[in-house]
Amino acid sequence: MVRKITNTVTRNRATRFKKARQVREIPLLSHDLTELAQDAQNCRNCDLWRNATQTVFGEGAPDARIMLVGEVPGDQEDLQGHPFVGPAGRYLRAKLQEAGIDLKHVYLTNAVKHFKWEPRGRRRIHKKPSAGEITACRPWLNAEIVALKPEIIVCLGATAAQTLLGRDFRVTLHRGEFLQSSIAPHVMATIHPSAILRAPDENSRQQQERQFLNDLKKIASIRH
């Protein structure tokens, strides 16, 4: 069924209070993930598209039980047009399998769907999306949740967790807990895989990895 959902989003929190209200509409014309992904290619709801190669929409089986939400696509994701295909993504996929989660049950997406970066020499370095950019992209994430109706949503890192669970949510305090939320029957937040890869030393990397795997095993243990 094609249904029209109109989401009103404010474009930029900073300018919202200074200037007259700037409101943009994103008409989401479908509950079909493939159609949503196509529509999102033309998204101009914030300025991130200007320096990105393409929109990197979520991917996975349309009947996937588990939705994992990251922050923003990285350099490789931007170039290839697929979520979680760079180093953090490869690590995530390996740990999901190690935890006993079949990738065919998983849908991978991000809170923000265009790569945000700054140049450092010849490299493009990831930048954290602003609150305004997260808000501008939220209708796409909402639409993915409505279309997929996942049984389990896992927020990877603070950006995803605060986007879906509120700005006061602290992953450091509540990682690995099952949370009450209307977005899905089971909701959990855990550390972002790239934070594990960036751990300051081998001991903390191993400790973070153990906890991450533990969190994923809790997800794997949920039965229909």
Closest approach of Cβ 218 to ligand URA, in Å? 21
- Residue 115 in contact with ligand URA, rule: CB under 6 A: no
- By CB under 6 A, is residue 86 in contact with ligand URA? yes
- The single residue among 26, 67, 84, 134 that binds ligand URA, judged by CB under 6 A, is 84
CB closer to ligand URA, 83 vs 132: 83
* Chain CA centroid to CA 31, Å: 18
Q: Which of 45, 64, 66, 77 binds ligand URA (CB under 6 A)?
A: 77
Instruction: Note whether 194 binds ligand URA by CB under 6 A.
Output: yes
Residue 70 or 139: which CB sits closer to ligand URA? 70
Determine the Cα–Cα distance for residues 155 and 169; give it in Å rounded to an integer: 11
User: Beta-carbon neighbour count of residue 206 at 10 Å?
Assistant: 12
Contact segment (CB under 6 A) with ligand URA among 25-33, 72-80, 96-104, 162-170 equals 72-80
**Taking Cα atoms as reference points, which of 87, 22, 17 lies closest to residue 9?**
22
Q: What is the DSSP letter of 19?
A: S
Q: Is 144 in the site for ligand URA (CB under 6 A)?
A: no
Q: Which is closer to ligand URA, CB of 1 or CB of 107? A: 107
C-alpha distance from residue 144 to each of 2, 40, 153, 194, 213 (Å): 14, 11, 11, 23, 26
Contact footprint for ligand URA (CB under 6 A):
70-74, 77, 83-84, 86, 88-89, 110, 194
